[in-house]
Structure 1
Amino acid sequence: MAKPEAVTGSKNVLSIALELQMGGIPLTRCQFLIPFIEVLNETGAPTEGLLDKFCLPTSVVEKAHLFIPILPTIQFVEVAQRAQGIPDIGFLAARQMELCHLSPRMLSALAHAPTLFAALQQVCKLASYEDTNLRVWLEPHGDHIRICNRLTGTTGLPNLEHSQWLQLIFPIHIVRHYVGARWHPTTIAFESGYTPGRETRALWPNSRFLSGQPASWIDVPMSYLSLPSPGEVPPPAENTHEDDPASHEMIMSLKRMLPAYLDQGPPSLGEAAEIAGLSSRSFQRKLATAGISYSDLVDAARYENASRLLRDTQVKVIDIALSSGYSDHAHFTRAFRRMTGVTPRQFRRQTRLTEV
């Protein structure tokens, strides 16, 4: 099998691979190669031969949940794009991606996130389940928050825009899940020196594109962070051993049960495990498989109770705190802010303004 040719640039793949050796081989899910292959197949490209040249699997559809090396994948995409004369192949591939193409673990965590802010925190926590060296974080910027991402250890690698388009499209889909399908970010920023072509920009007429940034990012209004989940996210596009219907049913039962206990204190983890008919260890393992912890479930139940009372009643904040299982106003405010990005009083004010 022929070895991949090095891509020219300020750093080549070999030098970056040497830098990454101590941290292991950076990997991405086969799922993220599939849309590029579909774009290339539409042009009649010799896709199978190119995949073989870059030491990539020649059949990936049935392996969507498995991992392949990122660096040869980026090389493959760039060489294929040039050979076929396809402009903005990263954008074309990103257009085929949907929320359901995220890993089952990520989708499960998003499904149980009560607010957009909590969902974005889960994305930061679980990003490595998509690309093993992907880092995602949130940066406040005025009245917006930036959802930032970058592949660690790849500074100087050319053609990163191919992967950056995919890394940006998923936060956009997540925000749209809460805001609506027509939402678009004010700014779409790339770490690479890439500038989208005219046709690509025409499809995002209200978005400003930036290049050469310290990281790739999109911006979201701060006021969106406290938006509640509109419902369950779509099921994963592929079936894997991580998909456990029994765990899902157990979690849904716990979410229905916990509100009845909030004012007197929720069951301990051990008590909840006993109610579920499991040992504490098995109980925790089932939750972990779904990408969630018992404390996450308790926090979500407390938030849903508190947000409903803040939104729909005139009950005092301290009384809402106590009914949600918090011992005092300060503890409640800190916990609520972790979940929404705003204080309970700010949340009440925002929801009243929205209703006017």
Structure 2
Amino acid sequence: MKPLVPTIRAGALAPILGWMAKSGRPVEAALRDAALGEQAVGDPDSPVPLLNAIELLRGLARAEGPDIACRVASGIEIQEIGALGAAIRARPTPRQALHVVSVLMPRHCTHERFTVENTASGVRVIESWSVRFDAEALHLAQQYVAALIRALCAATRGAAPLLDRVEIPPHPSVGVAHLARWLGRVEAAAAPRLVVEVPARVADARLAPLTGAHTPPPEWTTLHADGDLLQSLRWTIAAMLGPEEVSLDSVAAAAGVTRRTLQRRLAAEGLTFSELLDGTRLDLAIRLLTQSAAPLGEVASRLGYANAPALTRAVRRWTGATPRAVREKGAAGLQGRNAAAGNGGAKR
């Protein structure tokens, strides 16, 4: 079965949040409105809920205009999107880079399909989603993908037009005409898929050299489309933790199910939502305390606690030790206690 929560790497949000920060837009408010926490602006390779990421883009589009994905991607370097971007830019040409995306996509997103075909005139990319979006969300998501492909092609420093043709599902209010200035020849798609055609002169041009490009590290694992339900939920909760409360309703919304359905599925795993939330906080607390030098106040904020004393009380309840002792002992010293939490729930 597919994971309950459609998931994407946080690096997909990096260009969007970077554009907002540079343009003086309220990043924290946008994250809060999309029910995302600090993980979305931290490690670019950490998983975040896909539907929340799309809501962040939708909110920005409604404030800034329906071509916002093209505007965001117009000035970026493709490696900004994390390990996938770095792997792309390690290839010598756009053609080779796009074929790498088709191979690595399962590591980047659970529900995105990305295929690349060599044609007589160049390269054709076909992108679609195995999760249902409304017309506005689908247009914005696929506009962003098309704009990122254009950004990759722009790294050849070749002459325009960089794309031969783009076929994209129309925006429900403004169609596709607003994309022509960015993408060139744009046509409205009848099917819920994106088609981008790159001419051979661009597809086979040399990408500008990039210092420090690398392939994904071994731990950058596949986000399995038939993966573990609880792992999928832990990723979601971790990405949502922060100043705002992570509730059963907010996690159900990220999963695209009702709260009752989520409760039923958790009950089948022998867990309550409170236990899952507690267990996710426990795992993240130990990781932050043992693998970083972040001050306790910063760790508390990351986990959604008001202050360091609240964090201390929670860590004592979970482990019987203070955060300082956990930091000194390291994760190995807490393995037995952590294992007692079972399948994701630190017992109260």
Query: Could you state the TM-score of these two structures normalised by the residue count of structure 1?
Result: 0.49
| Separation in 1, partners of 2:157, 2:24 | 38
Q: Does 1:124 align with 2:92?
A: no
Higher relative contact order (CA 8 A, sep 6+): 2
- Checking the alignment, whether the CA contact within 8 Å between 2:79 and 2:88 is kept in structure 1 is no
Task: After TM superposition, give the deviation of residue 141 of structure 1 in Å.
Answer: 6.1
Partner of 1:146: 124
Range with bigger deviation, 227-236 or 47-56:
227-236
Q: Does 1:26 align with 2:3?
A: no
| Separation in 1, partners of 2:64, 2:147 | 23
SS, match of residue 64 in structure 1: coil
Equivalent residue runs for 1:158-177 within 5 Å: 158-177=136-155
The equivalent position to 2:111 in structure 1, one of 111, 123, 133, is: 133
Partner of 2:163: 185
Equivalent residue runs for 1:98-109 within 5 Å: 98-104=77-83, 107-108=86-87
Task: After TM superposition, give the deviation of residue 56 of structure 1 in Å.
Answer: 0.4
Equivalent residue runs for 1:205-354 within 5 Å: 206-222=184-200, 227=204, 229=206, 232-235=209-212
Larger Rg: 1
Identity fraction in percent: 17
- CA distance 1:106–1:203, shift in 2 (3 Å): closer
SS, match of residue 113 in structure 2: strand
| Separation in 1, partners of 2:55, 2:131 | 16
The equivalent position to 1:35 in structure 2, one of 15, 33, 56, is: 15
- Name stretches of at least 5 consecutive residues in structure 2 with no aligned partner: 220-348
Partner of 2:44: 64
Task: After TM superposition, give the deviation of residue 184 of structure 1 in Å.
Answer: 1.6
Task: After TM superposition, give the deviation of residue 149 of structure 1 in Å.
Answer: 1.1
Q: CA RMSD in A?
A: 3.9
SS, match of residue 31 in structure 2: helix
SS, match of residue 148 in structure 1: strand
SS, match of residue 138 in structure 1: strand
| Separation in 2, partners of 1:102, 1:37 | 11
Task: After TM superposition, give the deviation of residue 80 of structure 1 in Å.
Answer: 4.3
| Separation in 2, partners of 1:106, 1:45 | 25
- Checking the alignment, whether the CA contact within 8 Å between 2:105 and 2:112 is kept in structure 1 is yes
- CA distance 1:202–1:24, shift in 2 (3 Å): same
Task: After TM superposition, give the deviation of residue 177 of structure 1 in Å.
Answer: 4.1
Partner of 1:52: 32
- CA distance 1:172–1:77, shift in 2 (3 Å): closer
The one-letter code sitting in structure 1 at the alignment partner of 2:212 is P
Task: After TM superposition, give the deviation of residue 119 of structure 1 in Å.
Answer: 3.1
Q: Does 1:92 align with 2:67?
A: no
Residue by residue over 1:230-274, the C-alpha shift from the partner in whole angstroms, topping out at 9 and shown as x without a partner, is 56445359x99669xxxxxxxxxxxxxxxxxxxxxxxxxxxxxxx
Partner of 2:308: none
| Separation in 2, partners of 1:240, 1:126 | 9
| Separation in 2, partners of 1:176, 1:95 | 9
- Checking the alignment, whether the CA contact within 8 Å between 1:107 and 1:233 is kept in structure 2 is no
Task: After TM superposition, give the deviation of residue 30 of structure 1 in Å.
Answer: 2.1
- Name stretches of at least 5 consecutive residues in structure 1 with no aligned partner: 1-20, 244-356
The one-letter code sitting in structure 2 at the alignment partner of 1:91 is C
SS, match of residue 149 in structure 1: strand
| Separation in 1, partners of 2:60, 2:153 | 32
The one-letter code sitting in structure 2 at the alignment partner of 1:62 is G
The one-letter code sitting in structure 2 at the alignment partner of 1:161 is H
- CA distance 1:45–1:178, shift in 2 (3 Å): closer
| Separation in 2, partners of 1:80, 1:178 | 29
SS, match of residue 180 in structure 1: coil
Partner of 1:335: none
The equivalent position to 1:75 in structure 2, one of 55, 60, 70, is: 55
Residue by residue over 1:297-354, the C-alpha shift from the partner in whole angstroms, topping out at 9 and shown as x without a partner, is xxxxxxxxxxxxxxxxxxxxxxxxxxxxxxxxxxxxxxxxxxxxxxxxxxxxxxxxxx
| Separation in 2, partners of 1:85, 1:171 | 22
Task: After TM superposition, give the deviation of residue 70 of structure 1 in Å.
Answer: 1.0
Query: Could you state the TM-score of these two structures normalised by the residue count of structure 2?
Result: 0.50
| Separation in 2, partners of 1:190, 1:62 | 31
Task: After TM superposition, give the deviation of residue 68 of structure 1 in Å.
Answer: 0.9
